[in-house]
């Protein structure tokens, strides 16, 4: 995939002059000129040292020697409570401070809120955006947590998180950092991400440079596609893609333009977001990505959107019968019956329902119209999987056709690109689905950036090293490290299609992948905890009806765990140790959950989030004692009061989950 590094286009010597700032409750973002640059502070402590930014359009750098036109304009953002139809909270606060700095051809807009700061560039010129310089400087004494992907696969965001001191970050010409990029310095935690991407590539960081007191990460963007071709992979790998006339899984970029985006009218670039928290565990409470994103159109009705859980077929080999034998009408009737009996809202028909990835031809073994009708009679919705090559350019037709057939939504897979054309597609297809009252799960895609605020029918995004990786995991796979870190990194950007719920659980080092009969690394309680710990308005239950029926004590609890919430509270941990949070359900009950990495540990927290009175605490936790199996657990009930201290001993790769009810 072609890309452009901003550092190669924009460059000036440093001599900073303060131009503007926005401040809210100690969170400060400050703008300078000569050269155009920004810095981020919290209560006087520098979190992001001065870092140059800029914009190059039609081959000309607009930011070089830019001068302010008049004085910056600072105003308070209207403090309001925004109701959220599908989110981790029932409402979001919209207050803060905004400052506009006018440079003639472009404006820099600064925003400061209680949960962080952000900036964006808005251009008045039209043409093409050759490059945006959106670098990041990280103090050398910071501890960093991040994900990287090969530079040739920008947009493929399914790697295991990494940890390093900022001073140890080194340049790797083969890899790029993707967002969110999280670091802690001077007792504060910063998550760098973005919001409100419109017809624009997502931000990555490429080259790493020593900038004296900081390490500088250079912005990296995919170029605008010029020539594309449909592609397929016969060996299920990346190496041997063959170009096809049409069809296939991917739409590969063959050649690119010399720019990253278009500006046919004056336009805004995405928000560059810096979420600021007093501890890593508080990142899950932040709302910046959602609050800064484009809202739904005035008067738009999304009351029909139904979040929920999904009985999923592909991960468990179609009820462990294998792809060839299990992908058929009879098996899907089995999934539908199971969902109806257990209160699961959806069943997905994953890859195999259509003939050779052609959504206009059904597999002879799968009677799709009959299954949709059968599921509808039982109160279960059908979601159809497809590779994006099957829908791109035909969005309206696809949404209208399958809506008339009775399908409730789509899971769109194998996008795996990071350019502006992809961002345009995500918006266009979500709009087509909304028009036809269908939900969307964007799988095989980069992290979310708030598009679900404009289209609440977008229920989930992948962009994560999820449980599907266990189908081909090696014996040394330590998935628990990944699970903990993802709570602080990937989930900070928004909901994630991790697909938890495995019933065959193995100790770290005791599992080898199985394509048709996979399991998970870590304990049973670890898997159950993910149901409440991870944000996913469309939560796929990964295992088979057969295995769930053999473990109904656990499954019944999981199936009753909500997927949208009224409140979210971080309880503790950091990317390298454990994660714990509490969430309030719509019915007033609370769930608390936690997971640990390979290290067994004892975790305590106060239940001060509970209201007055006594509460019943129903919990699943790790079994203790010598010889305990990863599948073993303790299910018990206690009576607690708000403020009581609860303590859990988590085994290696362990976890816990509690439901508090009056």
Phi, psi angles (nearest 5°) of residue 64:
-65, 125
Q: How far is residue 19's CA from residue 548's CA, in Å, rounded to a whole number? A: 60
- Catalytic status, residue 468: yes
Q: How far is residue 280's CA from residue 303's CA, in Å, rounded to a whole number? A: 34
Q: How far is residue 331's CA from residue 127's CA, in Å, rounded to a whole number? A: 53
- Catalytic status, residue 285: no
The two beta strands, 346-349 and 381-387, are parallel
The whole-angstrom distance between residue 542's C-alpha and the CA centroid of its chain comes to 18
Place of tokens 């979500």: 430
- Check if the beta carbon of residue 597 is closer than 8 Å to that of residue 481: yes
Place of tokens 């919290």: 42
CA distances from 509 to 236, 476, 578 (A): 25, 5, 19
Phi, psi angles (nearest 5°) of residue 639:
-105, 130
| Catalytic member of 194, 252, 319, 413 | 413
The beta strand positions in 415-555, using DSSP E, are 439-442, 458-461, 505-506, 520-521, 538-541
Q: How far is residue 659's CA from residue 532's CA, in Å, rounded to a whole number? A: 10
Residues in the chain: 662
| Catalytic member of 115, 468, 535, 566 | 468
SS3 content of the chain, % helix, strand, coil (to 5): 20, 40, 40
The two beta strands, 520-521 and 505-506, are parallel
User: What crossing angle do the helices spanning 552-559 and 329-342 adopt, rounded to 10°?
Assistant: 70
Place of tokens 């139904």: 306
Closest CA to 117 of 55, 43, 60: 43
Phi, psi angles (nearest 5°) of residue 466:
-95, -175
Token pair of 81 as six digits: 């409570």
The beta strand positions in 199-343, using DSSP E, are 204-210, 214-222, 225-233, 241-243, 250-256, 261-263, 267-268, 271-277, 308-311
H-helix or E-strand spanning residue 436: none
Q: How far is residue 151's CA from residue 418's CA, in Å, rounded to a whole number? A: 11
Token pair of 113 as six digits: 């809120």
The whole-angstrom distance between residue 457's C-alpha and the CA centroid of its chain comes to 16
3-state secondary structure of 589: coil
- Check if the beta carbon of residue 96 is closer than 8 Å to that of residue 225: no
Hey, which residues are catalytic here? Answer: 413, 468
């Amino acid at each position: 995939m072609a890309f452009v590094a901003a550092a190669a286009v924009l460059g000036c010597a440093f001599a900073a002059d303060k131009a503007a700032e926005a401040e809210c409750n100690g969170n400060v973002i400050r703008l300078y000129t000569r050269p155009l640059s920004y810095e981020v502070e919290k209560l006087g402590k520098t979190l992001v040292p001065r870092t140059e930014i800029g914009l190059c359009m039609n081959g000309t750098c607009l930011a070089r020697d830019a001068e302010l036109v008049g004085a910056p304009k600072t105003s308070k953002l209207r403090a309001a409570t925004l109701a959220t139809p599908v989110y981790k909270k029932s409402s979001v606060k919209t207050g803060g401070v905004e400052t506009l700095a006018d440079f003639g051809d472009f404006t820099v807009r600064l925003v400061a809120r209680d949960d962080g700061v952000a900036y964006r560039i808005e251009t008045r010129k039209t043409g093409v955006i050759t490059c945006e310089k959106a670098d990041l400087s990280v103090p050398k004494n910071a501890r960093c947590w991040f994900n990287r992907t090969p530079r040739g696969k920008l947009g493929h965001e399914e790697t295991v998180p990494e940890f390093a001191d900022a001073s140890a970050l080194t340049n790797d010409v083969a890899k790029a950092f993707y967002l969110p990029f999280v670091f802690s310095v001077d007792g504060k935690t910063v998550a760098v991400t973005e919001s409100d991407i419109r017809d624009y590539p997502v931000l990555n960081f490429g080259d790493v440079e020593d900038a004296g007191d900081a390490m500088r990460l250079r912005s990296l963007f995919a170029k605008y596609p010029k020539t594309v071709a449909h592609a397929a992979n016969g060996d299920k790998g990346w190496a041997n893609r063959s170009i096809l006339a049409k069809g296939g899984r991917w739409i590969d970029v063959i050649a690119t333009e010399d720019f990253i985006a278009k500006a046919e009218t004056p336009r805004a670039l995405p928000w560059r977001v810096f979420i600021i928290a007093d501890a890593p565990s508080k990142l899950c409470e932040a709302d910046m990505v959602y609050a800064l994103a484009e809202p739904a159109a005035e008067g738009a009705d999304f009351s029909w959107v139904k979040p929920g859980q999904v009985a999923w077929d592909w991960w468990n080999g179609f009820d462990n019968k294998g792809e060839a034998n299990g992908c058929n009408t009879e098996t899907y009737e089995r999934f539908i019956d199971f969902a109806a009996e257990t209160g699961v809202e959806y069943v997905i028909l994953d890859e195999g329902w259509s003939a050779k990835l052609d959504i206009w031809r059904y597999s002879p073994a799968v009677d799709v119209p009959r299954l949709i009708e059968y599921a509808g009679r039982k109160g279960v919705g059908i979601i159809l999987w497809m590779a994006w090559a099957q829908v791109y350019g035909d969005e309206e037709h696809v949404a209208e056709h399958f809506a008339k057939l009775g399908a409730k939504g789509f899971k769109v897979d194998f996008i795996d690109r990071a350019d502006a054309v992809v961002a345009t597609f995500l918006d266009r297809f979500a709009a087509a689905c909304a028009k036809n009252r269908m939900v969307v799960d964007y799988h095989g895609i980069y992290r979310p950036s708030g598009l679900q605020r404009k289209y609440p029918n977008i229920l989930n995004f992948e962009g994560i090293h999820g449980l599907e990786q266990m189908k081909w995991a090696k014996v040394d796979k330590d998935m628990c490290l990944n699970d903990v870190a993802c709570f602080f990194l990937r989930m900070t950007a928004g909901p994630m299609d991790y697909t938890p719920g495995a019933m065959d659980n193995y100790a770290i080092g005791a599992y080898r992948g199985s394509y048709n009969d996979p399991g998970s690394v870590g304990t049973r309680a670890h898997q159950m905890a993910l149901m409440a710990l991870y944000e996913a308005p469309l939560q796929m239950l990964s295992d088979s009806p057969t295995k769930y029926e053999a473990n109904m004590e656990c499954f019944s609890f999981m199936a009753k765990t909500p997927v949208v919430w009224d409140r979210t509270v971080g309880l503790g941990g950091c990317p390298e140790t454990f994660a714990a949070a509490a969430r309030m359900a719509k019915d007033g009950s609370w769930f608390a959950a936690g997971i640990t990495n390979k290290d067994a540990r004892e975790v305590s927290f106060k239940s001060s989030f509970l209201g007055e009175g006594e509460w019943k605490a129903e919990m699943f936790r790790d079994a203790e004692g010598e010889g305990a199996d990863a599948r073993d657990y303790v299910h018990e009930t206690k009576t607690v009061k708000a403020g009581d201290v609860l303590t859990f001993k988590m085994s290696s790769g362990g976890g816990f989950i509690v439901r508090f009810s009056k």
